[in-house]
Amino acid sequence: MANSVFGVTTTSIFESMSRLAAEVKSINLGQGFPEIGLEPAELIEAAIGALREGPHQYPPMMGLPALRQAVADNAKRWLGLDIDWEREVLVTSGATEALADCFLALLEPGDEIILLEPAYDSYPTIIRRAGATPVQVRLDPPDWQLPLDRLEAAITPRTRAIVLNTPMNPIGKLFSREELAGIAALLLKYDLVAICDEVYEHLIYDGRRHETLLSFPEVRDRVVRIGSAGKTFSVTGWKVGYVTADAKLLKPIAKAHQFVTFTTPPALQAAVAFGLNLPDSYFDGLRRDMTRRRDLLVGGLRQAGFAVGDVAATYFAVAAIDQLPEAGDDYALCRRITREAGVTAIPISAFYDARNVHSHIRFCFAKSDQTLQEAVQRLARWREGLNWKAAS
Ligand code: PMP
Ligand code: GLN
C-alpha cells in the first residue's frame, strides 16, 4: 500500500498553499479560484430556483438534456462546432472527473500517453493509476512554443494519446491554429487520440480566439474536448464539467463516468445550462473584467521588478524568479513571500512530474481590483526591502 500510486501521492500544492495562506492570513493568489462576490448573480438565482423546484433524484447518467444541449449550442456559438448533443455530450462532476474518466476509459496497462509540461497536476497520477505511463514533453520559456519535433520523437508504438491543455495552465498560453494543425497531423500519422482540456476556453484576452482541435475535420473522431462551469462562471466549487466527443469515442468514457460518480447534482446542471445560454454580453463582460484584472496584476508585478511575460488567456501569470536576489527555489520562495510579503503564489515545479524545474512562480488574477492592488503593493514593498538588503 505504501508504494501504491496514491500511497506515494502528496497533498496537492493548491491545497497546501491555500492552507498556509489561511494560517498566516496572506492574500491568496495561489490556488486558481475567483474571489467571493465575482460569481454572476443570475446564475446563483438560477441554482436557487432549480433547488426549490427539483427534482432532487438521480438525473440521467449522461447529464440533463438541457445542459447537454446548452453545451452543444455554446460550442456552436463560440467555436462554430456542430455537436449532436444526444450522442456526443456527457456531463461530469467537474473537469477533474472528466479527465479521470478519459484516462480510465482510453488507456490500458502498458500504454503511453504524452503530456506537455508544465502540466496540470492531476494528469500523471490518474494516468499511472490507470496502469499507463505519462511521457513528458516540455515547452520552454520565454515563448513556450510547441516543440513539434520533440513531440513527434516522444511517440512510440505504445503511445495511445496526447493531452493538450489549451488555454494552458499555468503559463496562460493559447495554442495557435498552426500548432494544432501540427498535432492533428501526428494524431493521423500515428493513430492517436487527443484529450483536450479546455476549461479556460472563455478566458481569452486582447481579441484573440480560442481554437480547438475538435474543429479539424480530419481528426473530428479522435478528439475529446473537456470544459468546466467552474471557470466560465466563477464557481469552482460547483464541479460541473462536460465532455464532447464523437459518439464511439465517448461511449467508453461514459461507462467510466457511470462507475466513478454516475451523475452530477441536477440543480447545478440546470443552473449551468442557464449560464451557457446567457447572451454574448455575459461572456464579453467576463473577458473584459478578466482583462482588467490581468493588466492590474501583470502591470503591478512588472513595476515591482518581476519578469512577467504576456498572458493570452486563463486566470494566471507566471513570473520568472532567477533574477531575484536570494530567491532560493520556487517552493521556498512561495512560502517566503506568503510569510514576508503576505501574498501567496504557486511554485511552477508542481507542474513538472520530476519536480525539477524551479524557474517561475504562478499568480492568480481572478480577484477584485482592490485585492490585486493591495497584493502588488505588498510585493513591491517586499522587493524594495530585498534590493535594499542586497545593496547593503
Ligand atoms: N484542468 C485544468 C487545466 C485546471 O486548471 C483545472 C482546475 N481548475 C481543472 C482541469 C479541474 O477543473 P474542475 O474544477 O472543473 O474539476
Ligand atoms: N485548477 C486550480 C489551479 O490550477 C486548482 C484546482 C485544485 O485545487 N484542485 O489552481
Domains and CATH numbers, the chain: 13-31+281-391 (3.90.1150.10), 41-278 (3.40.640.10)
**Residue 31 Cα: closest atom of ligand 2:** 10
What is the pLDDT averaged over residues 238-243? 98
Higher pLDDT, 328 or 157: 157
d(CA 323, CA 62): 50
For residue 1, what pLDDT is reported?
A: 73
Residue 61's nearest CA partner among 250, 264, 253, 248 is 264
Specify the residue with its C-alpha closest to ligand 2, atom 2.
32
pLDDT at 392 > cutoff 90 = no
pLDDT at 327 > cutoff 90 = no
For residue 385, what pLDDT is reported?
A: 87
User: Distance from the CA of 234 to the center of ligand 2, in angstroms?
Assistant: 13
Binding site membership of 32 for ligand 2 (Cβ less than 6 Å): yes
**Residue 96 Cα: closest atom of ligand 2:** 9
pLDDT at 389 > cutoff 80 = no
What is the pLDDT averaged over residues 337-363? 96
Binding site membership of 12 for ligand 2 (Cβ less than 6 Å): yes
d(CA 3, CA 73): 46
d(CA 128, CA 109): 9
User: Distance from the CA of 97 to the center of ligand 1, in angstroms?
Assistant: 9
What is the pLDDT averaged over residues 16-24? 97
Contact 366, 234 (CB under 8 A): yes
d(CA 240, CA 374): 32
Question: Which ligand is nearest to the Cα of residue 102, counting in written order?
Answer: 1
- Residue 167's identity, in one-letter code, is P
Q: pTM here?
A: 0.97
User: Mutation test of ligand 2: which of 15, 16, 17, 31 has the most ligand atoms closer than 8 Å to its C-beta?
Assistant: 31
User: Distance from the CA of 157 to the center of ligand 2, in angstroms?
Assistant: 33
User: Distance from the CA of 21 to the center of ligand 1, in angstroms?
Assistant: 21
d(CA 219, CA 233): 29
For 52-64, what is each residue's pLDDT tens digit? 999 999 999 999 9
User: Within 6 Å (CB) of ligand 1, which residues are found?
Assistant: 32, 94-96, 120, 165, 169, 197, 199, 228, 230, 236, 239, 241
For residue 279, what pLDDT is reported?
A: 98
Specify the residue with its C-alpha closest to ligand 2, atom 7.
14
Pairing of strands 316-320, 360-364: antiparallel
| Cα–Cα distances in angstroms (integers) from residue 374 to residues 116, 239, 368, in the given order | 34, 30, 10
Specify the residue with its C-alpha closest to ligand 2, atom 9.
14
pLDDT at 274 > cutoff 80 = yes
For 175-198, what is each residue's pLDDT tens digit? 999 999 999 999 999 999 999 999
d(CA 361, CA 329): 10
Residue 104's nearest CA partner among 78, 82, 122, 79 is 122
Q: In what order do the strands lie in the sheet with 360-364?
A: 307-308, 316-320, 360-364, 346-347
pLDDT at 2 > cutoff 80 = no
In this structure, the number of other CB atoms found within 10 A of the CB of residue 104 comes to 21
- Residue 11 DSSP label: P
Q: How confident is the model at residue 341 (pLDDT cuts 50, 70, 90)?
A: very high
User: Distance from the CA of 118 to the center of ligand 2, in angstroms?
Assistant: 14
Q: How confident is the model at residue 311 (pLDDT cuts 50, 70, 90)?
A: very high
Binding site membership of 28 for ligand 2 (Cβ less than 6 Å): no
For residue 390, what pLDDT is reported?
A: 62
What is the pLDDT averaged over residues 241-252? 98
Cell of 114: 504524452
Mean pLDDT of the chain: 96
Q: How confident is the model at residue 368 (pLDDT cuts 50, 70, 90)?
A: very high
- Which residues, 6 or more positions from 253, have their beta carbon under 8 angstroms from its beta carbon? 90, 98, 101, 102, 105, 106, 224, 243, 245
- Residue 30's identity, in one-letter code, is G
Residue 363's nearest CA partner among 350, 382, 338, 346 is 346
Cell of 57: 433524484
User: Mutation test of ligand 1: which of 97, 120, 173 has the most ligand atoms closer than 8 Å to its C-beta?
Assistant: 120
Using only the alpha carbons of the chain, give its radius of gyration: 21
End-to-end CA distance of the chain: 53
Helix (H) or strand (E) holding 283: helix 280-303
For residue 114, what are the β-bridge partners?
135, 162
Contact 206, 298 (CB under 8 A): no
For 92-141, what is each residue's pLDDT tens digit? 999 999 999 999 999 999 999 999 999 999 999 999 999 999 999 999 99
**Residue 199 Cα: closest atom of ligand 2:** 1
pLDDT at 391 > cutoff 90 = no
Binding site membership of 241 for ligand 2 (Cβ less than 6 Å): no
**Residue 98 Cα: closest atom of ligand 1:** 16
